Amino acid sequence: MHWAPIEKQPQSWAVRPNLLDYAVTCADFSWDDVRREFAGLPGGRGFNIAHEAVDRHAAGPRRDHLALRWLGSDDTVRDFTYGELKSQTSRCANLLTGLGLGKGDTVAVLADRIPELYIAALGTLKNTSVFCPLFSAFGPEPVCQRLRRGDARVLVTTERQYRHKVAPFRATLPRLQHILLVDAPDHGSDGLLSWSRLMAEAADSFVIPPTDPEDVAVLHFTSGTTGMPKGALHVHQAALIHYITGRYVLDFHPDDVFWCTADPGWVTGTSYGIIAPLLHGITNLVDEADFDATRWCRILETQRVSVWYTAPTAIRRFMRLGVEPVRSYDLSRLRVIHSVGEPLNPEAVVWGEKALGLPIHDNWWQTETGGIMIANFPALEIRPGSMGRPLPGIQAAIVRRTGPDSVELIADPEAHGDLALRPGWPSMFRGYLHDEERYRACFVGGWYLTGDLARRDGDGYFWFVGRADDIIKTSGHMVGPFEVESTLMEHPAVVEAGVIGKPDPLIGELVKAFVTIKPGIEASDELRLELIGFARKRLGAAVAPKEIEFQANLPKNKAGKIMRRLLKARELGLPEGDLSTLEKSE
């Protein structure tokens, strides 16, 4: 690999962290002060993420600064300055306007981490349409379900993704009007359009329409325990959180090169893999390739990465490389490392110090919060194993439900409870698309209940305990057991299925399914493999079960619901807990 290193910056590398005194910063903090740092759209026409992330810099001294460096799997490099990013995203916005898309229309993108994904995301925001990323490792079922539920009118994708995942189901997607293929040289039949041709024809300047800070900007699907995925709606002013966490948590400084390894198919890859670094006018690095520890070391070295945002599964994989091989790279530019998505084990924090010369900071947030809420801050003491303390401006607490609409605060530093946030921060989700009831149910007694269990120690550090529901976190990706169960039950041999997350030392949890098959069918290894293949084809490798176990009966409660909690306890050899609701026939 021979990527050109990013030009050496004249800055002294001994920078002062942006947040030095946590208590003082919290005491002085106001969202209005953050808001005042943005001029907004010219002529007082509102607040648009793409203006703040791209056009604002392109119109000022950062015009020729490297905004996006893309590293291709085949070692190709594509660079975009802020000026170039402005032209490209304006072309995309014009292209969408030309197709009749405007405010509130959904543009879905199903692609690997290619430059067009980033241009489409920002162009969509410019056009005041709604960007909806779809993870490229999803199979046809999760993809089509999200396109349908998200009312997508345009899909930006590649030939391969389209043919395999969307084309066979096109008839079930009546609202999907245009498919833009980034690798098609010319337009085809069936409403298939060539992205490159339309981009070449579109003008490279665009006036962003008036944008209300509360206009919906991004639609992120996240899995639930029951029912189909939930579409969390985020608004333009969510960028205030991306901006302020860029300053206080990721500690951005003007000459930073930032690398967020998350895929934009997940919220981290959008909020931090696209928006936050650009809001700060710094260089954002994107690697197209999948994880490879040696490649990652080379990227960190040659690209002179100074701030790195990654995930526990990646760090655990990295740890396998050993301390010495990592130390043989010159990582002297690296200043801040953060991790999110799953519990970061204390050994990983300590390993970071040995191998990378820096501790790894854990932080916590979720799709619904839109941005980082709890973090270990660079200038503060790290408590390995803890998620850290709330961001200034964020009120977090541990609560216990006391009634249908009431909670009480838990002050005991040893006690576990529901992790709750006081509603009202700018990036809070504004709804679940088409599911007002589910949205309302998240707010109890004046708090947003996150679905996580945690505790808060005497010094205000939060410690993750687990999920309050059956959601699975595998390689940092959320998987809803219901989606997997529904797919398995489409197989003719399956009567019912119960799916759990089985703890795994590398990927956090692996998806395991317990399956009851029809009488007369043999529970063989062939069938097991067939079911795994069946699920993979439909759901994609990121979601499909890795293990399947046949069981004559699955434990159910009196309402006939499979008790995943019990399946998990039995799998782990843990106490079975309260069995009063277990149906006797089990």
Between 401 and 467, name the residue whose CB sits nearer to ligand AMP: 467
Cβ-based nearer residue to ligand AMP, 164 or 467: 467
Question: One symbol per residue from 353 to 392: x for binding ligand AMP (CB under 6 A), - otherwise; what is it?
Answer: ---------xxx-xx-------------------x-----
Q: What CA–CA distance (Å, rounded) separates 18 from 29? A: 14
Site for ligand AMP in 463-522 (CB under 6 A): 464, 467, 473, 478
Minimum CB separation of residue 52 from ligand AMP in Å reads 23
**What does each C-alpha distance from 423 to 34, 232, 375, 447 come to in angstroms?**
18, 15, 18, 6
Q: Within positions 214 to 273, which residues make up the interface with ligand AMP, using CB under 6 A?
A: 222, 266-267
Which of 46, 224, 341, 371: binder of ligand AMP (CB under 6 A)?
341
Least Å from the CB of residue 549 to ligand AMP: 25
Shortest distance in whole angstroms from residue 451 CB to ligand AMP: 6
CA distances from 4 to 77, 218, 302 (A): 8, 34, 7
Give the separation between CA 155 and CA 128, rounded to whole angstroms: 16
Nearer to ligand AMP, 74 or 381 (CB): 381
CB of 450 to ligand AMP, least distance (A): 6
Contact 485, 497 (CB under 8 A): yes
CB of 361 to ligand AMP, least distance (A): 10
305 touches 274 (CB < 8 A): no
Name the DSSP class of 344: -
Q: Determine contact, residues 479/543, Cβ cutoff 8 Å.
A: yes
Nearer to ligand AMP (CB atom), residue 135 or residue 258: 135
Query: Which residue, 123 or 341, has its beta carbon nearer to ligand AMP?
Result: 341
Measured between alpha carbons, how far is residue 431 from residues 418, 424, 474, 553 in Å?
21, 13, 25, 38
Do 484 and 497 touch, CB atoms closer than 8 A?
Answer: yes
Q: Closest approach of Cβ 367 to ligand AMP, in Å?
A: 3
List binders of ligand AMP among 540-579 (CB under 6 A): none
Angle between helices 115-126 and 82-98 (to 10 degrees): 70
**Nearest residue (CB) to ligand AMP, 310 versus 363:** 363
CB of 375 to ligand AMP, least distance (A): 9
Closer of 371 and 392 to ligand AMP (Cβ): 371
Q: Which residues contact 520 (CB under 8 A, 6 or more apart)?
A: none
Tell me the closest approach of the beta carbon of residue 470 to ligand AMP, in angstroms: 12
Distance CA 325, CA 101 (A): 51
Q: CB under 6 A: which stretch of 301-309, 341-349, 378-386, 513-521 binds ligand AMP?
A: 341-349
**Could you say which of 116, 251, 255, 452 contacts ligand AMP (CB under 6 A)?**
452
Instruction: Report the residue from 55, 263, 301, 342 that binds ligand AMP according to the rule CB under 6 A.
Output: 342
How many other C-beta atoms can be found within 10 angstroms of the C-beta atom of residue 512?
A: 22
Could you say whether residue 197 binds ligand AMP (CB under 6 A)? Answer: no
C-alpha 110: how far from chain center: 14
Determine the size of the site formed for ligand AMP (CB under 6 A).
20
The C-alpha atoms of residue 489 and residue 491 are separated, in whole angstroms, by: 5
| Least gap, CB of 349 to ligand AMP (angstroms) | 12
- 3-state DSSP assignment of residue 262: coil
**Which amino acid is it at 196?**
S
Alpha-helical (H) ranges within 166-271 are 195-201, 239-248, 267-270
Contacts to ligand AMP by CB under 6 A: 222, 266-267, 340-343, 362-364, 366-367, 387, 450-452, 464, 467, 473, 478
